[in-house]
Amino acid sequence: MIGYRQILCAITLVILSGIVTAQNQTNSPYTRYGYGDLSPQTFGKSKGMGGVAYGLRDGYQINAANPASYTMVDSLTFLFDAGVSLQNTNLSDGKTKQNIGNSGFDYVAVQFRLHPKLSMALGLLPYSNVGYSFSQGNADDPDNIYYKTYSGEGGFHQAFLGLGFKVSKNLSVGMNASYLWGDITRQNHVGFADAGKYEEWRINTLSVKDFKFDIGVQYTRSINKKNDITFGAIFSPKNKLKNDAYLQTQTALRSSSSEYTDSNITTTNLDKTCELPMSIGAGIAYQYDKRLTVAADYSFQQWSDVVYMDEKSFYDMHKMAVGLEYLPSLMGRSYFSHIKFRIGGYFSTPYYKVQDLATKEYYRASGEYGVTAGFALPLPHTRSLLSISAQYVNVTGKRAMLNEKYMRLCIGMTFNERWFFKRKVD
């Protein structure tokens, strides 16, 4: 039975997740576009394996990226999984560099079996993050020196309830129903170096509250006693989001004393259409002797067909990932033999169109690639795991656009204990 220390740790992680959900988890100027930086829908195991998930089946850790995997949990197990990340970002435009640190909430979820063929999971994780602040100035005309400041914050979160059903010994299906909510606020400010001129602020706010659905399937085939292969796939339909949007415009005269007077504020409610894309993904995972897992995923999100603020302004998003997990021994006596080692990598194309502020031209950033490595440490005398992974991510831009490099440390705790068994008393 689970101990009081583990219960205390679980409660602490839940509280921390609620706190860090409200924190700014990114400082990327690319989040100026669309819904911002899309958060990976992966948990501790996948994060160390390059983000692969669609074909993974593991009774010791939750895999919310494919709800069909929920059927892997046994009848006596209650899983609690939570994770956070620490991130260091290096930004460079070829002339200047900036270093920024962030921390963020990754996920919190529980999973258990309802019936020999039916399992459930529920949890909370971010969908997207927006956080940026940068300026552009004009010093060519000494009589009219101005600057423009662009800033934004916010993002979307999702609480999900998922079910996995075992159709047969080898085939499982599942579905996640998620409640999506959050706010994104963006502000543009035009100011002047000299007093006595009117400055302008334009604040755009988008608030969303709606549902989304994800469907998954997994088929496992045993080649022999030691070799298994699993095929997985997911599908998410295109979704029109219920939203509230408005534009607030403010003008004010900047006096010689650096104070503002003659302020005028107007607020306009915007009836805008916002959508989420149709998404599909497929993956394959090969397992040898329950100790070696090799997996690969491909996913496609049709952002080019998405309407955002009444405009189609995105590119389709493609992602490919590969990953490996290795366990030295199933029955080894040493602690080292029970550590799971993980490694992986991925490449994806961004969905947003980047605007050159000088030429006003839109084009696509080159892409994003990342490499990951990590391990899972078993907690003594339990089936629980501490997952730690390091990620290096590079987002490249064309011409003089911004390049971003991330070093990210992901820490996840999975409490895996026998809650549903009857004690026998003599």
The structural domain count of the chain equals: 1
pLDDT tens, 135-170?
A: 877 766 666 777 889 999 999 999 999 999 999 999
Q: Is 394 inside any structural domain?
A: yes
Which pTM value belongs to this model? 0.88
Q: How far is CA 393 from CA 16, 36, 148, 263, 409, in A?
A: 25, 17, 29, 44, 11
Q: Is 173 inside any structural domain?
A: yes
What is the number of other CB atoms lying within 10 angstroms of the CB of residue 356? Answer: 14
Mean pLDDT rounded to a whole number for the chain = 87
Q: Is 338 inside any structural domain?
A: yes
Structure tokens at 9: 């740790």
Evaluate if residue 399 carries a pLDDT over 60. no
Q: Check residue 330 and report its DSSP letter.
A: S
Q: Is 261 inside any structural domain?
A: yes
Domain harbouring 27, CATH code = 2.40.160.60
Evaluate if residue 421 carries a pLDDT over 90. no
Q: Is 423 inside any structural domain?
A: no
Q: Is 426 inside any structural domain?
A: no
Q: Can you tell me the mean pLDDT for 5-13?
A: 51
Domain that holds residue 44: 4-418
CA distance 183 to 157: 9
CB-based burial, 153-180: b 16+ in 10 Å, e otherwise: bbbbbbebebbbbbeeeeebbbbbebeb
Q: Check residue 143 and report its DSSP letter.
A: T
pLDDT tens, 12-55?
A: 555 555 544 545 567 788 888 899 999 999 999 999 999 999 99
Q: Is 169 inside any structural domain?
A: yes
Per-position DSSP letters for 352-405, written without gaps between them: BEEE-TTT--EEE--EEEEEEEEEEEEPTTSS-EEEEEEEEEEEE-STT--EEE
Q: Is 183 inside any structural domain?
A: yes
pLDDT tens, 74-111?
A: 888 889 999 999 999 888 877 777 888 888 889 999 99
What is the bridge-based pairing of β-strands 239-241 and 97-115? unpaired
